[in-house]
Amino acid sequence: MTDTHVLINEVSRDAEPSRAIAFLRWAASVLVHWHKRRAQYMTIRELRKLDNRTLKDIGLNRSEINSVAFTSGRDRTGRFSVQSKTLR
C-alpha cells in the first residue's frame, strides 16, 4: 500500500466514530424533544380535568391552559402585561 492509501484508511477510521457520535447526539436531542412535548401534553390533559373554580384558585383561566403548558413556567402574560406606575 502507498502512503496515500494508509492516510485514506486512517481518515476513514477516524470519520466513523465522529459519525456515530453525531448520530447519538441527534438521537439524544430527538428523545429530549419528545419527552418535553410529552410532558407538555400531559400537563394540558391534567389541567383540562380541573373545573373552572379550581383553575381560578390557581390563577388560571381555561383559555390559558395551552399557554401555561407550552411556556414552561415563563411569564404567560408576555407583551400584554400591564406595568404598575407609582404616583408621585
| Alpha-carbon distances of 16 from 11, 22, 73, rounded to whole Å | 9, 10, 41
**Residue predicted with more confidence, 14 or 25:** 25
The per-residue pLDDT for range 25-76, each reduced to its tens digit, is 999 999 999 999 999 999 999 999 999 999 999 999 999 999 888 886 566 5
Helices (runs of H) and strands (runs of E) counted in the chain: 3, 0
Dihedral sign, Cα of residue 10, residue 15, residue 18, residue 24? negative
CA–CA dist 6, 59 (Å, integer): 68
Predicted TM-score (pTM) of the model is 0.59
Hey, CA dihedral for 35, 36, 37, 39, is it positive or negative? positive
Q: What is the chain's Cα-based Rg?
A: 26
